Structure 1
């Protein structure tokens, strides 16, 4: 099952992920897949940087918002989806935690297959849910791929006062290169 927050304001994030900004210029070719694209704010930034972007999400409100931001976006359930194209950059930013562990691992495996050699994959997950994929799950999966190298990884924690009662977000990100 997927735990999707269906409130439209869930998709009103207004800032580009700083990790994405840091790595966009490092990718030679410019074909990107944004899995769990949300409102398309990251996809729009990639387009502004010269990328050909496909955004996918399971929520139709998110797809409409992404399209209104100029992103080619499709309503796709990525849990069992095999990509027919290959990409130079794949982002999976803070959507894997909505999946069960085995589903998230399948999404990562399919993303790995769709990633071109010399491509980057940027993964971000929240780690505060018991049944969510963990940093160890991601590392174990990446270690199985002999031509995958982790370029950067970090666990983080920050207080969020933007919506609702103040609360703490905990997460993990990694940037991987496929050789």
Structure 2
């Protein structure tokens, strides 16, 4: 009997690369019927993708809006979504074979609080997969940080938004419908290792994402040409780790 075809909701190559990193990392150590928690799941893209491989996946988020979207897109019986805080998660007492925390920590003023919750929710031999932007990577340095400064000037922000709209940038993301997606943390490798250690984790693997395909003006072309996105991801693999746009990482309890 043929296995069902795996589908992808993401279109950007670097997003697919991150999704494949998560899936491949799990398949190496976690059986197909394992219980997985996707923290800060947003619209549930990763949650649903993992469900295609037979995992029992719970996606949680504090945003009612994102969970409503996640549920509306879900057709898998082994995948479910709940509006749930970190405190409620710990109170449930459930433990998971793996926890996914993808593109979440950079939005938190105190990421250690969430990591302490994850520690309690992860089995002792479990796997935690964390993905974050590289705080000194091309996009964060040349796009994210300047745009955060622009936000402090309403008039300038209105002008920039008008220009972005004219250039075809919608300002939305397939990942989440949350109202505030600002980055408030900018992690280097050293920052990430220190954060892990402070919360009783060891980072056992760090992988690259992309290079400059999502940095304006390169993004004007690469968002339309998938082959350039693929090339950019391949270039990232050849450069020093500090040049990558993001970190895909595997964590284990100490």
Normalising by structure 2, what TM-score? 0.54
1:36-74, Cα deviation, whole Å (9 max, x unpaired): 112222111222222111101122232122222243111
Shift in Å at residue 118 of structure 1?
1.5
Matched, 1:150 2:197: no
Matched, 1:36 2:40: yes
Shift in Å at residue 115 of structure 1?
0.9
Look up the SS of the partner of 1:139 in the other structure. helix
Contact 2:132 2:247 in 1 (8 A): yes
Q: How many residues align?
A: 161
- Which structure is higher in helix share? 2
Matched, 1:58 2:112: no
Gaps of 5+ in 2: 1-8, 146-183, 224-243
What residue in structure 1 maps to residue 84 of structure 2? 76
Distance 1:158 1:21 in 2: 24
Evaluate the alpha carbon distance shift between residue 173 and residue 55 of structure 1 in structure 2; reply closer, same or farther with a 3 A threshold: same
Evaluate the alpha carbon distance shift between residue 133 and residue 75 of structure 1 in structure 2; reply closer, same or farther with a 3 A threshold: farther
Distance 1:112 1:98 in 2: 19
- Which structure is higher in strand share? 1
Distance 2:193 2:70 in 1: 30
What residue in structure 2 maps to residue 113 of structure 1? 120
Look up the SS of the partner of 1:153 in the other structure. strand
Contact 2:35 2:96 in 1 (8 A): yes
Runs of 4+ in 1 over 4 A off after TM superposition: 12-16
Distance 1:95 1:134 in 2: 12
Evaluate the alpha carbon distance shift between residue 125 and residue 170 of structure 1 in structure 2; reply closer, same or farther with a 3 A threshold: same
Normalising by structure 1, what TM-score? 0.74
Distance 2:107 2:250 in 1: 20
Gaps of 5+ in 1: 1-11
Distance 2:186 2:122 in 1: 21
Distance 1:59 1:122 in 2: 21
Shift in Å at residue 155 of structure 1?
4.9
Distance 2:112 2:191 in 1: 8
Kindly name which structure, 1 or 2, has the bigger radius of gyration based on alpha carbons: 2
Contact 1:93 1:123 in 2 (8 A): yes
What residue in structure 1 maps to residue 155 of structure 2? none
Evaluate the alpha carbon distance shift between residue 24 and residue 155 of structure 1 in structure 2; reply closer, same or farther with a 3 A threshold: closer
Alignment of 1:88-167 (within 5 A): 88-100=97-109, 102=110, 104-126=111-133, 127=135, 128=140, 131-135=184-188, 136-144=190-198, 148-156=201-209, 157-160=211-214, 166=220
